[in-house]
């Protein structure tokens, strides 16, 4: 009897495990003179069915990866180091989403996601001085905010830096699909831009209210996207991304010092509001979505002209990503390409809010992927 038994093996249908199927020798057909002759006629049909079953079985779904780059002013240099390490490790985005300074860095990466592209970005950042972007005027200091004009500074310096960093004219021409978020001053909503003139869209996403002038696109008056969605993981999830790398410019949990001046109080309130949405969205991740957060270290600074720490920030960003990825290298939670298996649906449960991220060293300890995730449906 053992010669007439076949083990069909384990079949995976869309990633879900099905018990092994082991057919037993069928009973002789009434009137049959030979059991073995009946089985010899039936067996080829079962073999064909088994082959079709294995051939049609769908492999486990692959992750669709997004890079989400947040705003953070001069601390945006830390994202350059983060991107450099991710590129070096072979981790590549399928979609890129950026807000404010994250829109600038994201555009450069999406246009040229190579080590050479990252080095070009780093070279530009290292050469930037505060006065290149925020030139001082005769009415510097608090008086500058009382002028009868749309902003304290023009965006000519920022425009020059963006033009030096990208080599494509329209957003739809990037190597990796890229979108920037802006805030509409017409209706207060977030407006996403994925097509059209790249420099204008990036300038709009980076137009810090009162610091830079609004940008008018298609008749809409647009300012910094960070006002409404500084860390747009919701956009990445809506695009069907199931593994999201978040590149922040400051700590995941914001603990601002007590303000001493009215201007500091206004700036602190802005940063608190910016962080609130991201923390709320992290606590409500749907099943199947994995978020890995690189925090970027220190607190935002009220000195928006200060670019003196650029070189150190680039190295800090690289070191942080390396530390997080090395923590899981060679384990079942490895994030390195070709060694990451997509989770089997139904095996991962949504974690407790606040434990579903892998933040950078110096903030929260990064939990292992698979525990730091709330796995969930794609598009």
- Give the DSSP letter string of 38-68: HHHHHHHHHHHHHHHHHHHPPPPPPPPEEEE
Task: Please report, in angstroms and rounded to a whole number, the separation of the first and last CA atoms in the chain.
Answer: 49
Q: How far apart are CA 55 and CA 77, in angstroms?
A: 49
Does residue 288 come out as left (phi exceeding 0), alpha (psi in the -120 to 50 range) or beta? left
pLDDT at 39: 55
Q: Tell which wins on pLDDT, 379 or 178.
A: 178
pLDDT at 153: 79
The pLDDT of residue 364 is above 70: no
pLDDT at 23: 41
Torsion, Cα of 55, 60, 64, 70 (10° steps): 180
The pLDDT of residue 341 is above 70: no
* Average pLDDT score over residue span 168-175: 98
pLDDT at 195: 97
The pLDDT of residue 313 is above 70: yes
pLDDT at 334: 82
* Average pLDDT score over residue span 340-361: 41
Q: What is the pLDDT of residues 69-84, one digit of tens each?
A: 999 888 999 999 999 9
pLDDT grade, residue 338 (50/70/90)? low
pLDDT at 345: 44
Question: Cβ contacts of residue 121 below 8 Å, gap of 6+?
Answer: 80, 83, 105, 108, 109, 165
CA nearest 168: which of 206, 195, 204, 207?
A: 195
CA nearest 249: which of 192, 318, 313, 327?
A: 313
Q: How far apart are CA 336 and CA 99, in angstroms?
A: 26
The pLDDT of residue 217 is above 80: yes
For the chain, the average pLDDT equals 76
Q: What is the pLDDT of residues 143-162, one digit of tens each?
A: 444 455 566 778 889 999 99
Percent of the chain at pLDDT > 70 equals 64
Q: What is the pLDDT of residues 220-279, one digit of tens each?
A: 999 999 999 999 999 999 999 999 999 999 877 777 777 776 756 766 777 777 778 898
pLDDT at 7: 31
Q: Within the chain, how many helices (H) and strands (E) appear?
A: 11, 11
Q: How far apart are CA 97 and CA 89, in angstroms?
A: 20
* Average pLDDT score over residue span 328-341: 71
Q: What is the pLDDT of residues 86-144, one digit of tens each?
A: 999 999 999 999 999 999 999 999 999 999 999 999 999 999 887 778 666 545 544 44
């Amino acid at each position: 009897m053992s010669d007439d038994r076949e083990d069909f093996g384990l079949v995976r249908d869309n990633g879900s495990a099905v018990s092994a199927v082991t057919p037993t020798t069928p009973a002789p057909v009434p009137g049959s003179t030979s059991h073995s002759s009946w089985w010899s006629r039936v067996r080829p049909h079962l073999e064909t069915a088994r082959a079709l079953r294995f051939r049609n079985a769908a492999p486990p779904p692959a992750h669709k990866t997004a890079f989400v780059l947040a705003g953070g002013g001069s601390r945006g240099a830390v994202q350059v180091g983060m991107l450099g390490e991710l590129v070096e490790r072979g981790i590549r985005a399928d979609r890129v989403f950026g807000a404010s300074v994250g829109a600038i860095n994201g555009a450069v990466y999406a246009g040229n996601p190579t080590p050479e592209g990252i080095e070009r970005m780093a070279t530009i950042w290292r050469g930037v001085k505060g006065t290149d972007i925020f030139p001082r005027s005769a009415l510097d200091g608090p008086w500058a905010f009382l002028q009868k004009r749309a902003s304290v500074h023009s965006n000519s310096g920022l425009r020059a830096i963006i033009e030096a960093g990208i080599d494509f004219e329209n957003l739809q021409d990037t190597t990796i699909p890229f979108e920037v978020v802006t805030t509409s001053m017409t209706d207060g909503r977030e407006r996403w831009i994925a097509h059209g003139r790249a420099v204008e869209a990036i300038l709009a996403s980076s137009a810090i209210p009162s610091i830079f002038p609004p940008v008018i696109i298609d008749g809409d008056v647009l300012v910094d996207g960070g006002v409404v969605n500084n860390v747009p993981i919701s956009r990445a999830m809506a695009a069907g991304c199931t593994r999201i790398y978040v590149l922040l410019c400051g700590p995941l949990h914001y603990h601002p010092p007590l303000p001493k001046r009215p201007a500091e109080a206004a700036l602190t309130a802005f940063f608190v509001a910016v962080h609130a949405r991201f923390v709320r969205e992290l606590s409500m991740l749907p099943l199947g979505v994995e978020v890995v957060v690189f925090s970027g270290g220190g607190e935002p600074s009220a000195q928006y002209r200060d670019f003196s720490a650029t070189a150190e920030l680039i190295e800090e960003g690289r070191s942080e990503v390396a530390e997080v990825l090395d923590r899981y290298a060679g384990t079942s939670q490895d994030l390195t390409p070709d060694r990451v298996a997509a989770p089997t649906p139904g095996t991962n449960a949504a974690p407790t809010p606040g434990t579903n991220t892998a933040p950078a060293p110096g903030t929260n300890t990064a939990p292992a992927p698979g525990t730091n995730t709330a796995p969930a449906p794609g598009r």
